[in-house]
């Protein structure tokens, strides 16, 4: 049993930080999820290691990783259209499925 309190809680006020550009700050707040409280403070808890110093380093590394990830501008999605072949195969699969279901229906007497 670990009897030493070696856990670390790192707090970073994202909402009021002047060190980050506005767009990075907004992305970081969106990406943080549960780690961000209602006041706009990012809370990172590190208790992976037995050493408090190592937990401190781990928390800092995780913060840096989150900020770097938020600093990457997402690529704009270019809308694409389905190819002709994919449309035709989709419709063919729908026709086959429809026939399968029609064959399952009740046969009327005298229709044979």
- pLDDT by residue (tens digit) across 54-99? 998 999 999 899 888 888 888 899 999 999 999 999 999 999 999 9
Chain segment 12-36, per-residue pLDDT in tens:
888 888 888 888 888 888 888 888 8
Query: pLDDT-based confidence at 1, cuts 50/70/90?
Result: very low
**Own/partner pairs, 13-19, CB within 8 angstroms, 24+ separation:** 13/39, 13/40, 13/41, 13/42, 14/40, 14/41, 14/42, 15/39, 15/40, 15/41, 16/40
| pTM of this structure | 0.61
Domain ranges of the chain: 8-71
Which residues are CB-neighbours of 66 under 8 A, at least 6 positions away? 28, 31, 32, 42, 44
Domain 8-71 bears CATH identifier 3.30.160.20:
yes
């Amino acid at each position: 049993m670990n009897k030493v309190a070696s856990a670390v809680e790192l707090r970073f006020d994202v909402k009021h930080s002047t060190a980050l550009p506005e767009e990075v700050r907004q992305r970081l707040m969106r990406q943080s999820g549960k780690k961000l409280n209602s006041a706009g403070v990012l809370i990172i808890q590190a208790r992976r290691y037995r050493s408090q110093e190592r937990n401190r380093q781990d928390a800092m590394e995780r913060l840096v990783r989150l900020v770097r990830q938020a600093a990457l501008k997402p690529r704009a999605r270019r809308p694409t259209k389905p190819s002709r072949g994919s449309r035709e195969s989709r419709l063919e699969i729908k026709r086959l499925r429809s026939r399968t279901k029609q064959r399952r229906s009740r046969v009327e007497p005298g229709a044979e």
